[in-house]
């Protein structure tokens, strides 16, 4: 099967301050197949880290599989797409890995960054290791059964290249701690950034138009935004809506997203008699999420571990996005959420198993305007000052530089 390479070189966009003169300007190859308009945390991370590293002065090239580079021209970097599909899969994967090596050598890449563990190129990690090419893998979560047995642990190390990586980074301290038993080397936690584009896009006129369209005026809006999946636990909000409505008659639950649980949750709402207090809205492009945050009074998502998902919330960028847009948040006291929310300052953390605690938190924020405003302001300040892609890129660049010099023997 022929593997074609498509390249698109675009003028770089400004994204931050110039690179520190003392730091080597690296030629970085970033592997990802997730970028906006595809929705999800890894898409947001990939875009943010690509633009952040580029704006620090590094030469960034992005490698994707079976994508059209023209879809991602707003990134301001070179995009290379390798076509790797074929009838004979082992041969196709081998050819794809050879193409990756060719790209690295022809472009004299210094280091490779996997924006998340890539599993669609066979054992690309071992291939890079054998050719003494330094690479860093960014980790964004862990399946609980990965730690259930030595066999499972060995499988995960192999699939994610953990034994061969020059360096490993994780989106939170929690992920780094959870994955520590899998690896020999230290995993460095680097918190993600949040794009302020969503804040600036949500102008007063656009927010007003959305409120009018959705008939939100005069309502106390609780926002839930994300996949309609068991781990997101939006059904907990639906279950306590009857009791919330008794004390806050103007309450409305706005759920934005889609997923396998939507029909089950809609049935639950009908059964509890609160279907008219829930507004279901399909998922929206990431640039538009700020409109929904600003149209709401608070954001709530009490993620919980679920047997069908076999995972915890690794971070929860939505909490930081909501804070950025000036509203307080309610999250679960577990997983990486505790690093996205300052309990009692930018929001309230509750046990995902204790719906009474959740009810109290929701009622407190809906009825206490002063607290709601103060938490929103503190959250916005924290999001704007700490959760920046410039900081994420600077910390990541340091790890990439370490990987480069270690492999070079410097």
Q: With 70 as the cut, is the pLDDT of residue 326 above it?
A: yes
Number of domains the chain is built from: 2
pLDDT at 12: 37
Shared domain for 279 and 305, answered yes or no, is yes
Name residue, tokens 């609160």. 274
Phi/psi at 129 (5° precision): -60, -45
Q: With 50 as the cut, is the pLDDT of residue 307 above it?
A: yes
Are the C-beta atoms of residues 53 and 393 closer than 8 Å to each other? yes
Shared domain for 220 and 232, answered yes or no, is yes
Distance CA 170, CA 314 (A): 10
Per-residue confidence band for 28, with pLDDT thresholds at 50, 70 and 90: very high
Residue 124 resides in a domain: yes
Whether cis (ω within 30° of 0) applies to the bond prior to 37 is yes
Distance CA 229, CA 260 (A): 6
Shared domain for 122 and 157, answered yes or no, is yes
- Provide the 3-class DSSP secondary structure of residue 198: helix
Shared domain for 383 and 395, answered yes or no, is no
Q: With 80 as the cut, is the pLDDT of residue 30 above it?
A: yes
- Provide the 3-class DSSP secondary structure of residue 307: coil
Shared domain for 275 and 288, answered yes or no, is yes
Residues 126-175 have pLDDT tens digits of 999 999 999 999 999 988 888 888 899 999 999 999 999 999 999 999 99
Shared domain for 272 and 167, answered yes or no, is no
Residue 12 resides in a domain: no
Shared domain for 208 and 298, answered yes or no, is yes
- Provide the 3-class DSSP secondary structure of residue 109: coil
Count the Cβ atoms, other than its own, within 10 Å of residue 49. Answer: 25
Shared domain for 143 and 242, answered yes or no, is no
Comparing C-alpha atoms, which of 146, 97, 139 is closest to residue 116? 139
- Domain harbouring 286, CATH code: 3.40.50.2000
Residue 19 resides in a domain: no
Quick one: average pLDDT of 207-228? 98
Shared domain for 131 and 180, answered yes or no, is yes
Shared domain for 134 and 211, answered yes or no, is no
Phi/psi at 188 (5° precision): -95, 120
Q: How far is CA 116 from CA 120, 156, 170, 250, in A?
A: 12, 13, 10, 43
pTM of the complete model: 0.89
Shared domain for 200 and 258, answered yes or no, is yes
Domain that holds residue 292: 196-387
Residue 228 resides in a domain: yes
Shared domain for 294 and 356, answered yes or no, is yes
Q: Name beta bridge partners: 85.
A: none
E strands of 278-333, at which residues? 278-281, 298-301, 329-332
């Amino acid at each position: 099967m022929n593997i074609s390479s498509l390249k698109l070189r675009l003028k770089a966009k400004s994204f931050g301050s110039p690179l520190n003169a003392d730091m080597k300007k690296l030629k970085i190859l970033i592997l990802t197949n997730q970028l906006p308009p595809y929705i999800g945390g890894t898409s947001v991370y990939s875009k943010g880290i690509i633009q952040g590293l580029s704006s620090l002065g590094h030469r960034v090239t992005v490698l994707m599989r079976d994508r059209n580079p023209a879809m991602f021209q707003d990134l301001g970097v070179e995009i290379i797409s390798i076509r790797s599909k074929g009838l004979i899969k082992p041969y196709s994967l081998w050819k794809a890995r050879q193409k990756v090596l060719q790209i690295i050598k022809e472009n004299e890449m210094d280091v490779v960054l996997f924006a998340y563990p890539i599993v669609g190129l066979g054992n690309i990690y071992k291939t890079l290791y054998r050719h003494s090419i330094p690479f860093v893998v960014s980790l964004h979560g862990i399946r609980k059964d990965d730690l259930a047995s030595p066999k499972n642990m060995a499988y995960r190390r192999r699939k994610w290249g953990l034994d061969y990586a020059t360096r490993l980074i994780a989106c939170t301290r929690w992920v780094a701690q959870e994955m520590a038993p899998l690896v020999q080397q230290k995993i460095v936690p680097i918190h993600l950034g949040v794009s302020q584009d969503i804040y600036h896009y949500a102008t007063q006129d656009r927010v007003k138009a959305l409120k009018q369209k959705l008939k939100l005026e005069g309502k106390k809006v609780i926002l839930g935004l994300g996949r309609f999946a068991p781990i997101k636990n939006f059904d907990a909000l639906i279950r306590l809506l009857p009791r919330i409505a008794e004390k806050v008659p103007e309450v409305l639950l706005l759920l934005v997203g889609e997923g396998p649980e939507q029909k089950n949750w809609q049935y639950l709402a009908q059964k509890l008699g609160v279907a008219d207090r829930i507004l279901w809205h399909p998922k929206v492009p990431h640039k538009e999420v700020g409109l929904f945050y600003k149209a709401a009074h608070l954001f709530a998502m009490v993620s919980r571990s679920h047997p069908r998902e076999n995972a915890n919330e690794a971070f929860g960028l939505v909490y930081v996005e909501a804070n950025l847009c000036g509203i307080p948040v309610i999250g679960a006291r577990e997983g990486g959420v505790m690093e996205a929310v300052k309990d009692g300052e930018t929001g309230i953390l509750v046990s995902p198993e204790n719906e009474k605690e959740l009810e109290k938190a929701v009622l407190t924020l809906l009825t206490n305007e002063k607290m709601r405003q103060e938490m929103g302001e503190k959250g916005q300040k924290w999001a704007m000052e700490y959760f920046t892609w410039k900081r994420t890129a600077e910390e990541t660049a340091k790890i990439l530089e370490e990987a480069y010099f270690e492999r070079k023997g410097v």
